[in-house]
Structure formats: structure tokens, C-alpha cells
Structure 1
């Protein structure tokens, strides 16, 4: 088969689309003919060798990709949930299933939590094998691009807002980086919950898209400081919740945007993991800080059911053949466009 792959960490020139041994499913795995994959900022960091907790150590050559959808080709002997011909999408979180946190229904806190495409071989290839428990059914009316682009960002945003931040109708929320995958999913979910949504982006075109998917107020962070803008439009009150997956460059302004007793929720730190922070402001204003990663199986089912029904929609900024995955990485790194970047096996084009 053909697969996106790299044999060393580095810039986009390490990415190849070339022959790779055909995968074979184990007893608990499913072989999937991939129809589409989607990229996340995670793929850029993985290519560079950067994991959430430090340098990555993955088997080379490595196939990246945490998002994909396709048709079941073969199932292992112990798999009962799926059969050949089923439409499926990948949910990329891997957990051990038996530690304290897995037993408590919190597999994203698993002591051995890993992500397909980051810590283990990914799914940007003509075929892939995935544990059956990491596949979700996809209705046949759902386009492959939508099915591939939805799982990681919508489960992440759903857990951040609904579970961790406990966002309520009538509350106010600021979503940073609303043009990215998680950001544009968070805007839609916040609007669905019934919150008043403030969103930031770097161009007027991106802000228009954010408004289209549910933002009530938009802020161009290249034109003005977003914390000052929030203070102006809320009469110095601030917002109840801030979604910050940017990290070092925005952290203090995110805290400054909160109302007293407000919550900040984070799932990433694309600009750096070690921001300066004002601890006095945190305890004096009784802020809550919530970390969040991926979603539980129940959360995945809840949010994807809404995607399949059309309540939420991942915006696709560009679709490329897998042989042009290097260009897909550039689009994400350069923050071009709004929404998700999809890659399709060249043999499917």
C-alpha cells in the first residue's frame, strides 16, 4: 500500500508518500480501507518530534495521522461490533482499560494514555488497522471528508466545554483561535449550549467564518489586544469561560479576560508550554483552571451523533491528495484558512 510516512523528525521535507507493508489485523483489530484522513496541529508537532510531555520516541518509519474514515475490509476473530462494508471513523485515544482511571470511566486520564498517530502508527495511508474499540460507526449519508475531519476536534471541544468547563446556557465564553480545528468546533458547541460566544482570529475573513458558525462577537487579535477588547465590550466584567489552546503567547491575557470566579480550559499550547502566570490573580479572583484531552467513548458518541445529524459541521479549508501532505502541514503551520485540512489517498482520486 501507499502511506504518508517519515523516517526522521524534521521539517516538511521529511514527509514522503511511498510504499509501506500492507497491515494485517490482530484478533481485536479492524482493517479499514481509508477514504479520507484529516490533519490536526498535533501532526505538525509529531513530525517535529514534539509530544505533549517532551520529545517523542516512535518507531520509524512513522505513519502520522489521528483522523481518518473509511470502509471496513476485514475484522479480527474477536471483533463483533463491525463487519466488512461498514462505514467507520477513527477515535484516536488509546487507554489500557484496567487502571484506576479507566475503571472510573475516565480513560483520557489513563496512566498509559496514547494517541494514534502521535505515539503509535497513524492512519494516513491507503489501509490501516485500528483496535475495534477505537472505531465509531458512520451513517452512509455522511461524506467521507466530514467523517474524517470530525472526531478529534469535536470530541476534544465537547469535553472541554460540556464536561470540564460545565458551560451553561446564558454564560459567556471566549474562544481563542476560532479558525482552527478545535476552535471552530468550540464555537459551534458553545452556540449549541446557548452561551454568548466571543471568538478571536487574525483576519476579517476568518472572523466572518466564525460568525457564520455561531460566534456572537468577534475580535481580530492582530488589530487589538483581545483582553482589552473583552473588557470594553463586557463593561470590565470579563467572560465566564475562556478556551485557550494557544499557550504561552495568550495565557496571561486569557486570565485577564475572565470574570471573577471564571474558568479557563486548555487542551494544548501551540506557542509554548511554560507561560508566566499571575498566581495572585488566580487565587484572589478564584479562577478555575481545567486541563482537557480528547474525550471518553460516551462523549465521542454524544458529539458525533450531533455531527452526523448536521447540528455541527467541520469546515474543510482544503482537500489534498496524500502525496501532498507536506503542503497540508504548511497550511496548518502558516494558519491559512478556516477549519480542517483533509488528505485523500491518491488511489481514491
Structure 2
């Protein structure tokens, strides 16, 4: 099968042939129809994460947002058969531990991250192997296109879990979203669907235009305005919930400082080698105003039904975020474009 292999950090991926995967007894092999190209792939491609013992290995296949058809299942798999249409979450749980059994598989201590760890090569390939298929695979509703849900396995589900489950966003809440790349745009659309009032913050006019198109109540140009003051003015005192969807020190601090008393910050964006996982915060101010800080990573497989049902009935439309479809040979160019934030919404590899 054709794959795109990481040979050196920051260098073009090597598009080459590799043997087709075989399923474990409890696993499945999925033919990839579409796979999102995510900023987390860019972090991995750059070699980030060594400060958290989280650097991806070389001679490895990236890609962690696939959707496709099951082509083979192991002998122990009960829920899935060949030709089933599925979405593959990147946060793969073991299915047996306390966290998995209580609905928190995204924090499984024995879990694996698809496209980031040696044991689970990623989906910039024609096929991808998925362990613990009965627990991890998610059935894709009929009528929903593969390319439209290619980001659901990471960015979209991450934004949904962050807002619906972690921050418990409700009707009328002001939700500030700092950074309108793929996960930020997902957060804007999801906040709007949940009945909240999203404020999209970015320094790029095209990103703000796209945010407006997918549901932003207000947009703020961070290149022209004092972000904190602008959000406070729009909301008459500060946002109820604020999301750092970029992972820079500036956006994290802006996200915290633009909150009203007892507001909630949600950290979704991962830091780069400029921050190396550490961001200074106004902790005394946060204590004074009882600000909550929440981390959010992926989404438990057990809660995918909440999201996919809203996609199926049209309440959520992840396909509107797709800005470009690309072939396997062009994935390296699109990763390079992320370095200077030159991508278009959610970009998707399609076969």
C-alpha cells in the first residue's frame, strides 16, 4: 500500500510502498477514504514534544483523523464487519481499565495515540490498523460523507468534548475562541450549535471570514485590537468560557484574562518549542476571580454518539470547515504551509 513516511523532522515525507497491515485478534483494518491534515501532525512532523517525552519516532507514518471502510477484522471482533463505514478516534482506549469502563477512554493509562506512537502507525496511508476495534471504532451514519467527517477523529471531537462535556457550555453563554484554525473553527461551529454566542479571535482576515461563515456571533481581529479589552466590551464584563485553540503563550493568557468572574478557560492547543509545554499565567488574578482552568484532549469513544447524532441530523456540519482536498503526494506541502498559518480551514487527504 502507498504511505507517506516521516524520515527526518521537518523534511518532506517519503511517499512509498509498505506492506498492508493485518488486524490483531481484537482489531480491524480500515481502508482510508479520507484523513484530516491536522496541526498536531505538524507538531509531530516538526519533532516537537521531546519536553514531554512525546516525540514521534522516525520512519513512521503520521495521520490521525481517518474515516473509511472496514476491510478486515480479527477473530474476536463482534461489532464490526467488512465494508462497515467508520470513523477512527485518535485516542485509542484499551477498553478494559477503570477509565475506559467509566466512559473516559481518552485518558486511558494503557491507551495509544493513533499516528503518534510506534505501536499504532497512522493514516497517511491507504490502510490503517485499529486495536480494540469493538471499543474504539465508531460507526459512521449513512449519508454522511467521509471527507466531511475526516477531522471528527481529532479536531472536531476535541472541540466538542471541550465545550459540551468539559466546560458544559449552555444556551446564551459567551464563548471566546482564540485561534481559528481547524480546531478553533470547529469550536466556533459547535458553540453556535449548542446555543452559545461564539466570539472568534484571530489575526488573519480569511480565518475570521470563515469563522463568521460557520457561526461566529462576533469576530475580533487580534492584529488590530486589544483582545482582552475587546472581548470584555462585547460581553459586558468577560466571556463565560474561553478556549485557547492555538497553544501560544499569548493566546493562553488572553484566553484566561478575557473571562468574567468564575469563568472557565479550556486549553486545547498544544504548545510549540517556543513554550515547551510551559506558559506563565496570572495565578493570583485567577484565584481572586475563581477562574477555572480545564485541559481537554480528544473525546472518550463512549461519547461519540452525542456528536455523530448531531452530524447525522444536520445540527452540526463539519463538512463546511473543509477548505481543501489533497492527494497523498501533497501532504508534505500542506504540512509546510502550516508553519506560517497558510492553510485553508480543515484540509483533508482523500484517496
TM-score (norm 1): 0.92
Specify the alignment match of 1:205 in structure 2: 206
Question: Structure 1 residues 281-290 or 148-157, which shifts more?
Answer: 148-157
Q: Deviation digits for residues 171-217 of structure 1, max 9, x if unmatched?
A: 21101112x11111111111111112111122333222211211111
Q: What's the CA shift for 1:55? A: 4.0
**Other structure's SS at 1:77 match:** coil
Is the contact made by 1:97 and 1:103 (CA closer than 8 Å) also made in structure 2? yes
Alpha carbons 1:154, 1:303 under 8 Å: kept? no
**Distance across 1 between alignment mates of 2:323 and 2:11:** 19
Q: 1:11–1:48: 8 Å Cα contact kept in structure 2?
A: yes
How far does residue 59 in structure 1 lie from its aligned partner after superposition?
Answer: 5.1
Aligned to 1:112: 110
Where structure 1 has 5 or more consecutive residues not aligned to the other structure, the ranges are none
Equivalent position of 1:128 in the other structure: 128
1:27 and 1:78 in contact (8 A); partners too: yes
- Tell me the distance in 1 between the aligned counterparts of 2:74 and 2:303: 26
Query: Equivalent residue for 2:342?
Result: 336
> Which of the numbers 126, 138, 141 marks the counterpart of 1:139?
141
| Counterpart for residue 92 of structure 2 | 94
> Which of 274, 284, 287 in structure 2 is aligned with 1:283?
287
Q: What residue in structure 2 maps to residue 155 of structure 1?
A: 157
Asked if 2 retains the 8 angstrom alpha-carbon contact of 1:65 and 1:122, the reply is yes
- CA separation in 2, counterparts of 1:57 and 1:157? 23
Q: Structure 1 residues 53 and 189, CA, compared in 2 at 3 Å: closer, same or farther? A: farther
CA offsets per residue over residues 5-51 of structure 1, 9 Å max, x none? 1133x1133x1111112211121111222111111111111122223
Unmatched tracts of structure 2, length 5 or more? none
The Cα shift of 1:337 comes to 4.3
Distance 1:68 1:173 in 2: 28
What does the per-residue CA deviation read over 1:223-242, in whole Å, with 9 as the maximum and x for residues that have no partner? 2221121123234x111110
What is the total number of aligned residue pairs between the two structures?
341
Is 1:238 the counterpart of 2:244? The answer is: no
Distance 1:115 1:246 in 2: 20
Partner of 1:30: 28
Structure 1 distance, partners of 2:50, 2:89, is: 18
User: What is the rounded CA distance, in whole Å, between the counterparts of 1:246 and 1:59 in structure 2?
Assistant: 24
Contact 1:174-1:198 within 8 A present in 2 as well: yes
TM-score by length of 2: 0.91
TM-aligned CA deviation for residue 52 of structure 1: 8.3
Structure-2 residue corresponding to 1:302: 306
Flag the 1:258–1:58 CA change in 2: closer, same or farther, 3 A: closer
